[in-house]
Chains A and B, each alone.
Chain A
Amino acid sequence: MASVISVGDESLRLCVFDLRRGQTEGQELDKILFFHPPELDVSTQLSVIGLSEGAIWRIDALRRVLKEVHSLFVMFHGSVRALLEKEPTGGLTRAQLYPFIADYLSTFQKRSRSEDCCCDLFVGKKLQLPNFRETTLSERGTVQMLTLARDTALEVQSLVQVLDSCAGNLRCHSMILFQDLLVSTTLSADDTVNLFTFTVMRLTSKALSSDASSWSYLRKGSGSSEVSSRSTSAPVGSVDSLHSGNGDNMLHVIRPLQHDKWKKGKDGFLVTDIWGLETGGSPDSAIPTVWLQQTQERVYLLAYQYKSLTLLLLLPTTAILNGDLSISAVKQQVIEQASLRIMKIEEKISRGWGGENAYHVKGYRYLVVDNDMEISRASPSGKVATLAKESLLALNKLREEVDLEKSRAQKKEKDLEICIRAKNNAWVIARVSRGKELYMALEKASDTLLDATDAVGRFSNRYCSGAFLMD
């Protein structure tokens, strides 16, 4: 199984294919499970397969995009391999993959339009030059945490326990976000990353409101409506016709990443008709489900929102199918037992929240990655945007070096330090220590190397509890 993003002629080509398929002559096209843009002729599509070099993107960053879309797909649909084994024609897999990846990619487009930042994967049909600002000082596939005061953390943990108990004796998982920062999770790191990514994309109050505000634009223009129309030309047939089919003999295509599909209900729970309408048939069949990697079980996903706080509750589907539990009873429990606490915690966090630039450190443009915890923290994008292009290019280069070193070191974690003087006299610095990585750009040209490393040391001691020891 492989995915490729190819960038040439300023247009993006994204392909998902399986080399084990289409082995016989004339059947090569069967390898392809997804291709973007779909209107590209078959021979060009086939020629793209195998290419895996992004022109300007750092390879690891591209790899992480692919990994992300794959993880998300697996989270909603299960592994592609399993899907194919179940259904050798690959029809359903294709039908799921096409809209899924298209919906995923459209996120970048939407984000760039609505936030006026330059994280474009593509705009319209063309891929614009990817902006380093998005990729150099951020790490896809990690979670951004909110730092909590101890008393708030205790309140949150207490709330987590209340949420846990909302399903009676069943152990259910939960995750809490404040804006697009993680507050708490009971899931494994990988599951947390996936759900966090999805929540930030579609469920947080920000995601909901940006959906709403860009709605009119999308209707007029080329956004997700274009995606679905383009999907119509997908080899297997119209997504819309597939989607409308409810019968068992029809393929039921679900597009979990579709835009504008989540609304906040009166009771505070987020509702969507992506998984169908609650009125038709079994009421619980319309509840979103996701697949948890750690426990290898399918769980219902309930999302509750109060102002900036978004809470996810994950309930094992088996328990509900067995009739041990009803979703509406759980919702009722959440409202009765937790809503007051949620309100108080939102208030408490909001009061102490430093705003968008809360994690800005004056004079530094940084990224800290903790690979063990799969968390990262970076300078706010508005601040990163002030960096000169030379600094970013140097930083990008530096990160590639580090990626290379890391891949060389294989499993053994190595301590590493690299300082580079960029063309504009900025210092770009990388430090790796036992699974933790620190990247930063210091644009004060007058600094000597000693000053620069001192600055890193101060940062490490002050903000990373000394994780990056100085030599």
Chain B
Amino acid sequence: MSNRPSSSQSSVGTGGLSHAYIQHPSLRCNVPESRGLFYDDANRLLICVTSDQVFSWETASFNPEVSPSADSISEGPILSVRFSLDKKVIAVQRSDSEIQFFHRETKKTLTHKCRAGSESLLGFFWSDSPLCDLAVVKTSGMDLFACDSAMNLRLVETKKVNVNWYIYTHESRLVLLASGLQCKTITGFQLSTAGVVRLPKFEMTLATTESNSKPIISAGDVHLITVYGRIYCLQVDREAMLLHTYRFYRDAVVQQGSLPIYSSKLSVSVVDNLLLVHQIDAKVVIIYDLFVDSRAPVSAPLPLLWRGYQGSDTSSQATNKENEGPEASTSNENIVMYEDAWTFLVPDLILDQTNKVLWRVHLDLEAISASSSDRTSLLELLQRRKLEANKAKQLCLGISRALILERRPATQVTQAIDVLVTAYSYSVKAGIYKELKNEKTTATTSTNGSSPDNERQRASGSSISEEEVEMDLPSGSADGQQESQLSSPAISPDELYKFVFASVEEMMIDESDYLVAIITEFLRSISAEKLKVDLNIYVMTLRLLAHSKRFAELSLFVTNKIIEPSKEVALQLLESGGQNLRVRKLGLDMLRQLSLHHEYISSLVQDGYYLEALRYAQKRKVTSVRSSLFLEAAFASNDMQHLAAILRVLSEMIPGFKETSEYYTFHGLLNETSSSVAV
């Protein structure tokens, strides 16, 4: 297991350990005479109805301070409420045969009835498909209506299917119609912006036992979820105690393994593309990442926690409901985890009908990190996080640093670095690693390009929902105050250098071999991805190699350009060359190759090669080097012939040199010392 040096988790008792939590404050529907709470997933509205009014809260911003908007409607029973997608019309299902429409501006009312007796109305939803605006699901099938601004309904198409129940989520635009005695025959339609697509009919898997030879699937047993742009259907098989997963492709529905369940009552949430399976009887959550083929959970089953303070990132401030903190009493909520009145809403909301509050489910990435021993998989998981990109990024950096400081085997560190470099490279290629201001334009383009017509031309087998989801995913700004402006936890090579390698250098200086090995693998990794890195890492590598006197390798690093040439590198070579002349020469060669004439000439003079330096200066017409440098060097070497020669060359090179005081000084010195040398 991990022994991370610092984990806030460790300071809290086991009672506080959790990977997922709900947090104060909730969205509260403090409407007197409330007759029921509804959730409109298309508009992400929490709706509270009284006998003649509809109150609605925007949940996207999840701001408890915002007051609801209120609309008056005629009195009557309410089975469900949904706002039209432009929010101009409120549709209310009154009975199993009647839907009423209220125009919020014109106050116009319309009643839609289906044939009484022969069929009954199961529900309805609004659609943004070009074909229809409204879909009404009945026991005899699905009617698709167009609805104009004057609220006239026109039937455009009818899909005839015997329907026992249906489920629909707006984020997937997918409606599943269940038929058959066991309700396991599923007909699916996607009402996307490109039209209505019929999915291949499929049968759900149901185990039978002697006691129950014909189990029946109910609507509550089936969940549509969207993760990583893919649509999955999850189905509870109570006899087998399994949660079957099906993935939807354009032309196929493929069962993709099953997850064990530990509770006959089950629900799911999706937070940041991770699947949270609530084992309601057991009162624990198990987190899965469907991105990887492995169906192993991300973390062990732990209870869902309730936290008091907003903005308390650390789990140390997490408070379990059971240890009723002062925050809990002030908030006047009597929360019972997983009580019967909880409704799990798509994707990450929990509606508590008893307390009339709405919670959002959060993940505690820190806790997940702390309890994971496989660092490579953990880094991969963190790199896929979008919601709390900054936190994921910081955790990744911390993990990388810890791996090195703990002297983990180089292969293990290499794997970790590979994960980060690959993820960065991917995010750059995918255009995710950008400033936030670019994000909107990216989203728009993806919406435009989301028509399944385009998609159809792509490789078959791609998720039908891929673009849909991108178009409709919550923008990740739900927790405005908490969230940083990062859209991706990707870590650039420069950041890896700065926050990992450079930050551990001082502590690791006596294990420079180990650090060099890791840096080499890092360089190999970024070279494989054709990325660039801050050249300071090269300077650091040189420093480390010189520190451990590995001059043979240092030479190879330089000559093979593993260490890319630069002025900074050359200067470091000159400095390290104090111990080793060969290394110093490598530095000089690099200066020359980079045409850093001034530095080259100065270094030559410094090494006593003032004649060579002057010849080079003459050849390259470099006059920026102080002429006194050559003269002083020659004078210091006590070679008056050289001094004379240098004076002559400088006189030719620099116009008016003979008039300078320098010339007089050294000419004088020359004559003093040896009158025989002619200038």
Residues on A lying within 8 angstroms of B by beta carbon are 145, 148, 150-151, 153-158, 160-161, 164-165, 171, 184-189, 192, 372-373, 413, 415, 433-435, 465-467, 469-471
B527 at interface, CB cutoff 8 A: yes
Residues from chain B with a CB closer than 8 A to the CB of A469 are: 615-616, 619
Chain B 587-615, CB within 8 Å of chain A: the 1/0 string?
Answer: 01100110000000000000001001001
Q: If A150-B562, A151-B528, A171-B513 touch, does A157 touch B556 (CB 8 Å cutoff)? A: yes
Contact status A158-B593, CB under 8 Å: no
Contact status A186-B552, CB under 8 Å: yes
8 pairs of A and B residues whose beta carbons are closest in the complex? A153-B560, A154-B524, A161-B517, A372-B582, A465-B593, A150-B561, A157-B520, A148-B560
B553 at interface, CB cutoff 8 A: yes
Query: What are 24 inter-chain pairs, A to B, with CB distance below 8 A?
Result: A150-B560, A151-B527, A153-B562, A154-B523, A154-B527, A157-B553, A158-B521, A158-B524, A161-B410, A171-B513, A186-B553, A187-B552, A188-B552, A192-B552, A373-B559, A415-B612, A433-B612, A434-B609, A434-B612, A435-B585, A465-B589, A467-B589, A467-B592, A471-B619
B557 at interface, CB cutoff 8 A: yes
Residues from chain B with a CB closer than 8 A to the CB of A156 are: 560
CB distance from B63 to the nearest CB of A (A): 51
B581 at interface, CB cutoff 8 A: yes
B550 at interface, CB cutoff 8 A: yes
| A185→B551 CA distance, assembly (Å) | 10
The chain B residue with its CB closest to the CB of A151 is B527
Query: A185-B552, A189-B552 known; 20 other A-B pairs, CB under 8 Å?
Result: A145-B559, A148-B560, A150-B560, A150-B561, A150-B564, A151-B527, A153-B561, A153-B562, A154-B524, A158-B524, A161-B521, A165-B410, A188-B551, A373-B559, A415-B612, A415-B615, A434-B585, A434-B588, A465-B589, A467-B592
The chain B residue with its CB closest to the CB of A171 is B513
CB distance from B175 to the nearest CB of A (A): 51
The chain A residue with its CB closest to the CB of B619 is A469
CB distance from B512 to the nearest CB of A (A): 12
B263 at interface, CB cutoff 8 A: no
B109 at interface, CB cutoff 8 A: no
Interface hits, B508-538 → A, CB 8 Å: 513, 517, 520-521, 523-524, 527-528
Residues from chain B with a CB closer than 8 A to the CB of A160 are: 553
Residues from chain B with a CB closer than 8 A to the CB of A188 are: 551-552
Residues from chain B with a CB closer than 8 A to the CB of A189 are: 552, 582
Partner of A470, one of B513, B527, B528, B619: B619
Chain B 333-345, CB within 8 Å of chain A: the 1/0 string?
Answer: 0000000000000
Residues from chain A with a CB closer than 8 A to the CB of B585 are: 372, 434-435
| A470→B592 CA distance, assembly (Å) | 13
CB distance from B133 to the nearest CB of A (A): 56
Residues from chain A with a CB closer than 8 A to the CB of B592 are: 465-467
CB distance from A354 to the nearest CB of B (A): 17
Residues on B lying within 8 angstroms of A by beta carbon are 410, 513, 517, 520-521, 523-524, 527-528, 550-553, 555-557, 559-562, 564, 581-582, 585, 588-589, 592-593, 609, 612, 615-616, 619
CB distance from A246 to the nearest CB of B (A): 37
| A148→B556 CA distance, assembly (Å) | 10
Residues from chain B with a CB closer than 8 A to the CB of A145 are: 559
Residues from chain B with a CB closer than 8 A to the CB of A467 are: 589, 592
Contact status A186-B582, CB under 8 Å: no
Residues from chain A with a CB closer than 8 A to the CB of B616 are: 469
| A155→B525 CA distance, assembly (Å) | 10
Interface of B, helix, strand, loop or mixed by DSSP: helix
| A164→B550 CA distance, assembly (Å) | 13
CB distance from B277 to the nearest CB of A (A): 39
Contact status A154-B562, CB under 8 Å: yes
CB distance from A223 to the nearest CB of B (A): 36
| A164→B553 CA distance, assembly (Å) | 13
Contact status A184-B520, CB under 8 Å: no
| A467→B585 CA distance, assembly (Å) | 11
CB distance from B191 to the nearest CB of A (A): 49
Contact status B615-A471, CB under 8 Å: yes
| A416→B616 CA distance, assembly (Å) | 14
Partner of A157, one of B557, B581, B582, B612: B557
Residues from chain B with a CB closer than 8 A to the CB of A184 are: 556
Residues from chain B with a CB closer than 8 A to the CB of A151 are: 524, 527-528
| A189→B581 CA distance, assembly (Å) | 13
Contact status B555-A373, CB under 8 Å: yes
CB distance from A461 to the nearest CB of B (A): 10
Residue of B524, B551, B581, B588 with highest tally of chain A CB at under 10 A: B524
CB distance from A283 to the nearest CB of B (A): 28
| A184→B556 CA distance, assembly (Å) | 7
Residue of A161, A372, A415, A469 with highest tally of chain B CB at under 10 A: A161
| A471→B588 CA distance, assembly (Å) | 19
| A154→B552 CA distance, assembly (Å) | 15
CB distance from A315 to the nearest CB of B (A): 16
CB distance from A342 to the nearest CB of B (A): 16
The chain A residue with its CB closest to the CB of B548 is A171
The chain B residue with its CB closest to the CB of A152 is B560
| A435→B616 CA distance, assembly (Å) | 17
The chain A residue with its CB closest to the CB of B564 is A150
| A185→B589 CA distance, assembly (Å) | 21
Residues from chain A with a CB closer than 8 A to the CB of B619 are: 469-471
The chain B residue with its CB closest to the CB of A187 is B552
| A161→B582 CA distance, assembly (Å) | 23
Q: If A150-B562, A471-B615 touch, does A161 touch B555 (CB 8 Å cutoff)? A: no
Residues from chain B with a CB closer than 8 A to the CB of A187 are: 552
Residues from chain B with a CB closer than 8 A to the CB of A192 are: 552
Residue of A153, A186, A189, A413 with highest tally of chain B CB at under 10 A: A153
Residues from chain B with a CB closer than 8 A to the CB of A415 are: 612, 615
| A100→B304 CA distance, assembly (Å) | 79
Residues from chain B with a CB closer than 8 A to the CB of A155 are: 524
| A146→B604 CA distance, assembly (Å) | 29
Residues from chain B with a CB closer than 8 A to the CB of A158 are: 520-521, 524
Partner of B527, one of A150, A165, A413, A435: A150
Q: If A186-B552, A434-B609 touch, does A466 touch B527 (CB 8 Å cutoff)? A: no
The chain A residue with its CB closest to the CB of B590 is A465
| A313→B450 CA distance, assembly (Å) | 57
CB distance from A313 to the nearest CB of B (A): 15
| A465→B589 CA distance, assembly (Å) | 8
Contact status A154-B615, CB under 8 Å: no
| A155→B523 CA distance, assembly (Å) | 10
CB distance from B523 to the nearest CB of A (A): 6
CB distance from A453 to the nearest CB of B (A): 13
Contact status A161-B520, CB under 8 Å: yes
Residue of B523, B560, B612 with highest tally of chain A CB at under 10 A: B560
Residues from chain A with a CB closer than 8 A to the CB of B560 are: 148, 150, 153, 156-157
Contact status A372-B581, CB under 8 Å: yes
Residues from chain A with a CB closer than 8 A to the CB of B517 are: 161, 164-165
Residue of A154, A165, A171, A187 with highest tally of chain B CB at under 10 A: A154
Contact status B593-A466, CB under 8 Å: yes
Residues from chain B with a CB closer than 8 A to the CB of A470 are: 619
Residues from chain B with a CB closer than 8 A to the CB of A435 are: 585
Residues from chain A with a CB closer than 8 A to the CB of B557 are: 157
The chain B residue with its CB closest to the CB of A173 is B552
| A435→B585 CA distance, assembly (Å) | 10
| A171→B514 CA distance, assembly (Å) | 11
The chain A residue with its CB closest to the CB of B513 is A171
| A400→B521 CA distance, assembly (Å) | 47
| A89→B615 CA distance, assembly (Å) | 58
Residues from chain A with a CB closer than 8 A to the CB of B520 are: 154, 157-158, 161
| A415→B593 CA distance, assembly (Å) | 18
CB distance from A351 to the nearest CB of B (A): 16
Residues from chain B with a CB closer than 8 A to the CB of A433 are: 612
CB distance from A295 to the nearest CB of B (A): 11
Residues from chain A with a CB closer than 8 A to the CB of B521 are: 158, 161
